[in-house]
Amino acid sequence: MSQVAIKICGVRTPDAIDAAMRGGASHVGFVHFPRSPRHLAPAALADLAPRVPEHVARVAVLVDPDDAIIDALIAAGGLHVLQLHGREEPARVAAIRQRTGLETWKAIPVKSAADLAAGNAYAGAADRLLFDAKTPEGAALPGGMGHRFDWTLLAGHRPPLPWGLSGGLDADNVAHALRLTGAPLVDVSSGVESAPGIKDMDRIAAFCEAVSRC
């Protein structure tokens, strides 16, 4: 049985949550970013969140959020984790973590080895780093586009805080990614979809199955 934690991100429907639960996901992610096809407003989050069992972490994915939207989402979703996916500096991450008392993750966009070091500045500010592929300059989204980076960059890298891997993972490549990186947590969104924002239950099952075999 795999010890690797699984986050299924960008869920928008009860059946996607149920599929993540059947697959043994430890985290489900709700995106609040109006440009995203996975965007959920607080009211929609409030409808969906109770579907997630208590032992599974509810993660809000946010891009440079202000305090008001963080508070609205926490009130709506009974959140456990905030995933900051924008250009939040360490001081802002630390302030959000301190003010909310929630586990706080910082996404680190990676294209080259030099990008990995950017994560070190978040030691003491964030609870976890999420190494994600850097999306192209001018892209509509800072994540959730199915891009991957060169996973061999992470071989031998020892981040100073817990971490996870995301960006372009799917059922066909996640075992390879885990072999190369040894990631303790994998995060997937577009790789378990049939179209942007449309989760595919069979792909969620196949992804979780592939991780559980590792």
Ligand X SMILES: O=C(O)c1ccccc1N[C@@H]1O[C@H](COP(=O)(O)O)[C@@H](O)[C@H]1O
Q: Provide the annotated active-site residues.
A: 9, 132
Give the one residue of 23, 42, 109, 168 binding ligand X; rule: CB under 6 A: 168
Chain position whose Cβ is nearest to ligand X: 144
Interface with ligand X includes 36 (CB under 6 A)? yes
Give the one residue of 21, 31, 73, 153 binding ligand X; rule: CB under 6 A: 31
Interface with ligand X includes 82 (CB under 6 A)? no
Backbone dihedral region of 18: left (phi > 0), alpha (psi from -120 to 50 degrees) or beta?
alpha
Give the burial class of 205: count Cβ atoms within 10 A of its Cβ; 0-12 exposed, 13-18 middle, 19 or more buried: middle
Interface with ligand X includes 135 (CB under 6 A)? no
Give the one residue of 146, 184, 201, 214 binding ligand X; rule: CB under 6 A: 146
Stretch that binds ligand X, among 16-24, 25-33, 68-76, 93-101 (CB under 6 A): 25-33
Q: Apex CA 79: angle with CA 74 and CA 85, to 5°?
A: 85
Give the one residue of 165, 169, 183, 211 binding ligand X; rule: CB under 6 A: 169
Interface with ligand X includes 181 (CB under 6 A)? no
Interactions with ligand X, residue window 113-132 (CB under 6 A): 130, 132
Question: Phi and psi of 104, rounded to 5°?
Answer: -130, 125
Interface with ligand X includes 177 (CB under 6 A)? no
Residues that bind ligand X (CB under 6 A): 9-10, 29, 31, 33, 36, 38, 61, 63, 85, 130, 132, 141-146, 166-169, 187-191
